[in-house]
Amino acid sequence: MLQTSVHVIVLGDVTRSPRILRQACYLANEGYTVTVSGYDASLSVAAKTKNMNGLDLVNIPDPKKYLFLSSLSLIVKFILHSFFFLFHLIQHCRSPVILVQSPPAVPTFLVLWIFTRITGKKLIIDWHNYGFTLLELTTTRGGFLPRVYQMLELSFASRFLSSNVEHLCVSRALQKNLLRWNINASVYYDRAPDDFASTPVDAAHELFTRLKTEYPALSDQVGSTRRTRFTEVITLPADCGGQITQWRTDRPALVLSSCSWTPDDDFTMMIEALDRYNERAEKSESELPHVVFAVTGRGPLKSYYEQLIREKCWTHVEVIMPWLTPEDYPVFLGCADVGISLHRSSSGLDLPMKVCCFSV
């Protein structure tokens, strides 16, 4: 089975890499033996892939977890990151084909170029965005560090990874831009898994009933076990018998966004929009519905925005920040009346993965 095996690599948190994870699951379903390597892979992906035959998880040690690295220079960090990654490949990579996500391109490209040159393995790079543009979100645009990163990313790929390497990318705009660097990539669009669909009311009621204790915004004020904020169980007349579950006609609008809580997602814009909505809804002649706005995800800026939201005195808007299991997330998403992507493209070339049919 060696000839039909693929090693999928994310030099980052696999939880925040749904595209590459779906590709791994698709390959496993097609009969390939797939190994997924990433930071905290054994913990973050286990629930999503526990019933997936032919798919193994291997954790890459994250150098950032070692406190002594925080005081080291960037050059030493680069060397140590490269050593950790190369040692992982030598120890675990047995497949003839490697599929890697970019960004991050540093030190990924250099290490993989060395490794594939020695072993003769086939390399496929899936371009999601440009890492140097992400770096510019937190540093000076066009500064020294982004320019060095761009050199190690695009200049290096153009020089050493353009002819004998296969390339995928997320959009035609990114494909066109890569051609300027002599990189010929095939467009591979994102597609939601089959379990992402409109949620039947029975499944919605079961989910809201379980979650309403932790998130009171989902609970009916009466506290009945037969009612949530959005659904209710109705007993049918005696001649019909039984009972049915239905959506409540007086339910609020459920708006959902998945946020990574990084500079890539501009949540300040969302707070301003909720401010305006609440002002309009407060007008006596307004018939705008009450809004329950659910924001899923974790990230470094979450606590900052939680504090901003606590300071608001909205009367027609409630915000909850649930952390859902991989099984509950698609069910909850399928209950939403409106989905919003807050993704701000750092390069202007990639498509937000959370949007259907159109980009933001």
pLDDT tens, residue by residue, 258-301? 887 877 677 888 999 999 999 999 886 778 999 999 998 888 88
Residues 89 and 137 in one domain: yes
Calpha distance 127→137 (Å, rounded)? 19
Domain membership of residue 217 (yes or no) is: yes
- Identify whether the C-beta of residue 110 lies closer than 8 Å to the C-beta of residue 125: no
Looking at 187, 210, 245, the residue that finishes a domain is: 187
Residues 145 and 220 in one domain: no
Q: Where are the beta strands (DSSP E) in 166-252?
A: 166-169, 186-187, 231-235, 243-247
Residue 123 is part of a domain; what is its CATH number?
3.40.50.2000
Residues 136 and 55 in one domain: yes
Please state at what angle helix 302-310 crosses helix 267-281, rounded to 10 degrees: 20
Residues 180 and 218 in one domain: no
Return the residue matching tokens 């239905």.
246
Domain membership of residue 195 (yes or no) is: no
Residues 257 and 179 in one domain: no
SS3 content of the chain, % helix, strand, coil (to 5): 40, 20, 40
Residues 183 and 285 in one domain: no
Residues 75 and 167 in one domain: yes
Calpha distance 55→25 (Å, rounded)? 7
Domain membership of residue 352 (yes or no) is: no
Domain membership of residue 223 (yes or no) is: yes
Domain membership of residue 179 (yes or no) is: yes
Where residue 2 falls among pLDDT bands split at 50, 70, 90?
A: very low
* Residue 250, domain extent: 201-339
Looking at 161, 187, 213, the residue that finishes a domain is: 187
Residues 175 and 275 in one domain: no
Q: Is 287 left (phi over 0), alpha (psi -120 to 50) or beta?
A: alpha
Residues 116 and 21 in one domain: yes
Average confidence (pLDDT) over 164-174: 92
Domain membership of residue 266 (yes or no) is: yes
Percent share of the chain, pLDDT over 90: 45
Count the residues in the chain: 360
Calpha distance 76→168 (Å, rounded)? 31
Report the number of distinct structural domains present in the chain.
Answer: 2
Per residue in 305-330, pLDDT (tens digit) is 889 999 999 999 999 999 888 789 89
Residues 9 and 76 in one domain: yes
Domain membership of residue 27 (yes or no) is: yes
Calpha distance 152→102 (Å, rounded)? 12
Residues 45 and 109 in one domain: yes
Cβ of 180: how many Cβ atoms within 10 Å? 9
Where residue 251 falls among pLDDT bands split at 50, 70, 90?
A: very high
The contacts of residue 224 (CB under 8 Å, 6+ apart) are none
CA distances from 288 to 2, 127, 253, 280, 282 (A): 59, 42, 9, 8, 9
Residues 121 and 270 in one domain: no
Domain membership of residue 35 (yes or no) is: yes
- Identify whether the C-beta of residue 245 lies closer than 8 Å to the C-beta of residue 233: yes
Spatial strand order of the sheet with 291-296 comes to 317-320, 291-296, 253-258, 338-339
CA distances from 60 to 11, 13, 28, 57, 119 (A): 8, 10, 20, 10, 20
Per residue in 181-206, pLDDT (tens digit) is 999 999 998 877 777 889 999 999 99
Q: Nearest 5 degrees, angle CA 89-CA 91-CA 96?
A: 55
